[in-house]
A and B are shown apart, each in its own frame.
Chain A
Amino acid sequence: MNEIGTYVRIRRTLLNPEERSDNLPEDTKKVPFKMWVKGYLQEEVELFDIVTIKTLTGRIETGRLKEVNPPYKHSYGDFVPEVMVLSDVIRNDFFGDHNE
């Protein structure tokens, strides 16, 4: 059970495929249009329940509870060996070949 006041992230479908704009590519037209937003829980609920939250600007939104204490997950990514090669190309071009 998640307590009132917990910071969470919810998701809601705003438009079902048949309600979407006519002017869309096929792949987009067949999927729903969804929204994610964060805010404070207004009721005691379980993960994946339909919940009400209060957002940072004080608006009330409803949707399915997807994440509690939502973290940032983006990073500097995986190691990319090609970027090491790229660096060598640039340095060799500019300073001359120094990898002998």
Chain B
Amino acid sequence: MNNSFQALMNRKNEIMKKSVGIDYDKYEYDGIGFDYEYMMNDQGYDLETVKQIQLENMVGNTPLVELKNITKYARKYAKKGYGARIFLKDEAANISGSFKARRAALAVNKAKALGYKGVIAATSGNYGAAVAALAAKAGLKCIIVQETFDSRNVSQPEIAEKARKCEAFGAEVIQLSVGPELFYTFLRLLEDTGYFNASLYSPYGIMGIETLGHEIAHEVKQLTGKYPEAVIVTNAGGGNLTGTARGLKSAGALNTKIIAASVNLYGLHMASDVDFNKKSFTTGHTGFGIPFATLPDRSDVPRSAARPLRYMDQYVMVNQGSVFFMTQALALLEGMERGPAGNTSLAAAFSLAQEMKEDEIIVVQETEYTGAGKHLLPQISFAKKNGIKILFGNPLDEVPGKNIIFPKDGSYLKHSEIHMDDLRKTYLKKFKNINLTQKDFDFLSEELNITKEKIINLLG
């Protein structure tokens, strides 16, 4: 068989169909859209079944904790009467140390039910560990494909740790140098092994997170008598936000504001060999967050189930220095040592809470495990070795790839906004020269959560 880059890409759809167990064609509309809800509801799982599968796999029902000291700290810089209560869902308590276990539990369950011998996932991160752990429990073989090295053979400490974690669960880890051809290797492995594609972007990958939104709605209501005013989600591929929002809505928390937060890595090219080791975060950053929000179907399945713009009310950024700052604050003030990347939304919540009234509630919906490599010390010392300057000052002055700026004090920790309409405009770009039908507009209205008039306006 011809395994050149192009030949393999040409067989993409055929390989995908065999490896995901979903015939995506049946959800397609004429025109640009597809039936998202039909796709989500057609996989044979309801929320109760998902909960049961997760319960049997040591996934879900993580502790919800009120961060009283961090709330008090944020109030120090808020106007009188302001400074929302900050709650945190300790997702590090899941079997593999992150919320990703929720997604993997379902994907692995499906792979087993369909009779696959093994699972493959393309991920540099916590999802790999999650798939590896759940595959181990289910008795399935597992291959994790990760982008690991630059051309000098230097790898991010965080990625090295995640490879170790996958291997701890018996998975085979395939490590690649920088480049989108990871997808080529991934396809080739799917074809050669006949394993299941445990994609982050399949309906299973998203339905698994709906339990998280559900738990937040019920637990906050039970504790405080109301649903939270806001839930903030660290955003990369969009699945975390999509699943959490769907879960909140299905629990009845219809007015809870859904806020996305990413680490600002503007200026660093995600496919650049040179830039690869100049970033201190390998996920939760704008390099994933923006492209996956504005072009969700860029993922490894024909139709991504992660469609964040359907649910997102606001999108904010924080710099790398602020996330490290809050990671340290979480350890020093709350006694919780957790991995930095998962604290992206916590850093943003610290600033956002100051704009909310003190009887309001903002929930940070994840934490992740920490360890050698995946911790602020190795990540900052690695940055220094790669020529990044470590400074104290105003974090909004940080230039990704050049410096990391820690807030001079807590008052300097501020988020910045990514304008929703800019994201929507980018999403709409590829439809500019197409004659859109009413059905197309209906689809876009759902995709972008805006009216037809607004779409026409944004199309310009």
The interface residues of chain A lying within 8 Å CB-to-CB of B380 are 77, 80, 82-83
CB contacts under 8 Å to B, within A40-78, are 55-59, 72-78
Whether A34 pairs with B149 at a CB distance below 8 angstroms is yes
The interface residues of chain A lying within 8 Å CB-to-CB of B172 are 37-39, 55-57, 59
Is A100 engaged at the interface, CB distance under 8 Å to the other chain?
no
Whether A20 pairs with B181 at a CB distance below 8 angstroms is yes
Whether A86 pairs with B328 at a CB distance below 8 angstroms is yes
How many B residues, CB 8 Å from partner? 63
Cα of A83 to Cα of B142 in the assembled complex, Å: 38
Q: How far is the CB of B223 from chain A (nearest CB, A)?
A: 24
As a 0/1 sequence over residues 20 to 38 of chain A, the CB contacts with chain B under 8 angstroms (1 = contact) are: 1101110110011111111
Is A1 engaged at the interface, CB distance under 8 Å to the other chain?
no
The interface residues of chain B lying within 8 Å CB-to-CB of A87 are 328, 332
Q: How far is the CB of A28 from chain B (nearest CB, A)?
A: 4
As a 0/1 sequence over residues 158 to 189 of chain B, the CB contacts with chain A under 8 angstroms (1 = contact) are: 00110010010011111111111100110000
Whether A86 pairs with B406 at a CB distance below 8 angstroms is yes
Whether A82 pairs with B178 at a CB distance below 8 angstroms is no
Residue in contact with A14 in the complex, picked from B157, B181, B193, B381, CB distance below 8 Å: B181
Tell me what chain B mostly uses at the interface: helix, strand, loop, or mixed.
Answer: mixed
The interface residues of chain B lying within 8 Å CB-to-CB of A24 are 179-180, 271
Task: Given A19-B5, A74-B161, A83-B376, check contact A90 B329 (CB 8 Å).
Answer: yes
The interface residues of chain B lying within 8 Å CB-to-CB of A27 are 272-274
How many A residues, CB 8 Å from partner? 44
Task: Given A74-B161, A75-B373, check contact A33 B381 (CB 8 Å).
Answer: no
Residue in contact with B406 in the complex, picked from A21, A31, A82, CB distance below 8 Å: A82
Cα of A66 to Cα of B329 in the assembled complex, Å: 41
Cα of A34 to Cα of B409 in the assembled complex, Å: 44
Is A4 engaged at the interface, CB distance under 8 Å to the other chain?
no
Whether A31 pairs with B185 at a CB distance below 8 angstroms is no
Cα of A15 to Cα of B188 in the assembled complex, Å: 13
Scoring B5, B193, B324 by chain A CB atoms within 10 A of each residue's CB, the highest score goes to B5
Residue in contact with A28 in the complex, picked from B118, B148, B173, B178, CB distance below 8 Å: B178
Cα of A82 to Cα of B328 in the assembled complex, Å: 12
Task: Given A75-B372, A76-B377, A82-B380, check contact A35 B269 (CB 8 Å).
Answer: no
Whether A20 pairs with B392 at a CB distance below 8 angstroms is no
The interface residues of chain A lying within 8 Å CB-to-CB of B184 are 14-15, 21
The interface residues of chain B lying within 8 Å CB-to-CB of A37 are 172-175
The interface residues of chain A lying within 8 Å CB-to-CB of B207 are none
Q: How far is the CB of B87 from chain A (nearest CB, A)?
A: 19
CB contacts under 8 Å to B, within A73-100, are 73-80, 82-83, 85-87, 89-94
Task: Given A87-B332, A90-B328, A90-B332, check contact A31 B273 (CB 8 Å).
Answer: yes
Q: How far is the CB of A8 from chain B (nearest CB, A)?
A: 14
Whether A90 pairs with B179 at a CB distance below 8 angstroms is no
Whether B174 pairs with A35 at a CB distance below 8 angstroms is yes
The interface residues of chain B lying within 8 Å CB-to-CB of A35 are 174-177, 185
CB contacts under 8 Å to A, within B264-320, are 269, 271-274
Scoring B167, B171, B179 by chain A CB atoms within 10 A of each residue's CB, the highest score goes to B179
As a 0/1 sequence over residues 382 to 401 of chain B, the CB contacts with chain A under 8 angstroms (1 = contact) are: 10100000101000000000
8 interchain residue pairs of minimum CB distance: A77-B378, A77-B381, A74-B373, A74-B160, A31-B151, A56-B172, A78-B381, A36-B175
12 A-B contact pairs sorted by A residue (CB < 8 Å): A14-B176, A14-B185, A20-B5, A25-B272, A27-B273, A35-B176, A59-B193, A77-B157, A80-B376, A80-B384, A82-B406, A89-B406
